Chains A and B, each alone.
Chain A
Amino acid sequence: MSPQFVDFNADGHLDIVAGIFDGSPHVALGSANGYIQPVQILDQEGQRIVLNQFWNFETKKWDATTRCDPPTGELPKGQCTSAFAWDLDADGDLDLLLGDYTGGVLYLRRNEGTATAAKFATRNEPVLAGGKPLMVPHKMATPRVLDFDRDGLQDLVIGSMGDAYGAGEGGAVYLFRNAGENGAPQFGEPTVLVVPSTKGHVDGPVRPDAGLYMDVADFEGDGDLDLVVGGYSMWQPKAPELTDAQKARVKELRAAIDETSKAMSAIYQAIQKAVEGLDEEAASTRRKELMAAKQDELAAIGKRNKELRTELEPMSADQKRESFVWLYENKAQAPAAPVRRP
């Protein structure tokens, strides 16, 4: 998800807008007493806002649709996992930018209503950069909009996912400067704010390498824009020098971890076999019953697995992959005057 604090319905209270992994934008409306539990943001016909891939709550499966595709043009598969409310067309109400996790494309869902009575269009429009659909490599994590270079125009800053598990290129943060005007932005090729991770770090985390969800603000109050970036760091620890006894223990631990994994897998497989042939509703009910019956056993296996891994970790040189949040402090002096185009 990619939370944004914004007065989405123009009632004077800050709301939280977020795209989540089900493929749709949601909002937690603010009130005088706090936030109300999130709901889906719907279009003007009361339909879910999606790209062309989404989680179907009725069938409980991933699903696809062309219902919201732009009228023209072939589009890659897209799943909305990030959203940002922004008055792109400067007509006084908030439109929605939809970030595509799968293809890395940025879409617009235009608000054809008003600031207090939104009516979102029924189809997505690709946001353009250089006349083509704006796209970042290796999937999109989240878009943000702000006047980055202080020229009075709203620019786009976008974090990318990168290869989240393997050795492929990692995530990055890109700036798409607005060379048009407010209400009719024109974005060009991106500037790289955080270079794509090449990974290969040794002996400790040095940066976010994959899944770069970020935000931009003058965090230090010194007049320039800092970045905060969440994501996974990946690194290769130095191989420890082990005694013969430790080497033997490592072997035991790996075997024991393998056993716990097999035991857990066997339980899940047995449950799956038990619900085969049942209709969707009956299968769901039976699956919950069986999971409840095995809950304590699964918890015990999980606890044992964690204990074994904790003991193994200092003796292992296995690649590490852990999530953190990082601050990129801006050391540049803010532009003394707005940088205007000729």
Chain B
Amino acid sequence: MECSHSKSPALVVAGWLSLLPLCAQGADYAAPLRLQAGDGFLGAGRLYPSPVFHDVNGDGRIDLVVGDLVGHLTVALREPGDGPPRFGKEQTLKAVDGQELDFGNW
């Protein structure tokens, strides 16, 4: 497999492993794919969306939890199937009190 990162002028590493191209260290990233959740784009309209990988429902598929600047969290469950990853519509993450889990106290 061709290693596109070996051509990157931005490759700067300290130590003896700096002689290794990034792909030899296990990383060669494809062009980014904008993710969808339900009918829309994941994180659209959010202030500074901060996604995290997490298997929320324990089905063995890694889902995405997305935080934001105002302290809200949503869950997009990964749907089964081959091909590009698909996610269900974002749902609000709730606390045990039934209210939205809210980190935004400022």
Contacts and interface: CB of A to CB of B under 8 A. Distances in A.
Contacts of B94: 34
Interface string A230-242: 1110000000000
Contacts, number: 216
Between B16, B30, B32, the greatest number of chain A beta carbons within 10 A of the residue's beta carbon is seen for B32
B50 A3 contact: yes
A324 B41 contact: yes
Interface residues of B, number: 62
B10 A192 contact: yes
Q: Which of B3, B25, B66, B97: most chain A Cβ within 10 A?
A: B25
Contacts of B34: 205, 324-326
Contacts of A5: 52, 54, 65
Interface in A91-136: 130
A11 to B, nearest CB: 15
A213 B51 contact: yes
A225 B67 contact: no
B77 interface: no
Interface stretch (A15-23, A267-275, A293-301): A15-23
A196 B28 CA distance: 16
Given A37-B95, A191-B12, A324 B25 contact: no
B67 A177 contact: no
Given A20-B71, A205-B34, A330-B26, A323 B104 contact: no
Interface residues of A, number: 75
Given A36-B96, A149-B25, A331-B28, A177 B48 contact: no
A332 interface: yes
Given A213-B48, A333-B1, A148 B26 contact: yes
B67 A327 contact: no
B48 A331 contact: no
Closest 8 CB pairs of A and B: A188-B14, A22-B106, A213-B50, A230-B49, A332-B28, A217-B53, A326-B32, A325-B43
Given A18-B67, A35-B95, A228-B64, 6 more contacts: A1-B67, A28-B101, A57-B105, A207-B31, A215-B52, A217-B62
24 contacts: A1-B68, A20-B103, A21-B71, A28-B101, A35-B95, A130-B14, A141-B48, A149-B26, A177-B13, A177-B14, A189-B12, A192-B11, A206-B31, A213-B50, A214-B51, A224-B27, A228-B35, A228-B64, A323-B46, A327-B35, A328-B30, A329-B29, A330-B27, A331-B28
Interface of A: 1-5, 16, 18, 20-22, 26, 28, 31, 33-38, 55, 57, 130, 141-142, 148-150, 175, 177, 179, 188-196, 205-208, 211, 213-217, 219, 224-225, 227-232, 322-335, 339, 341-342
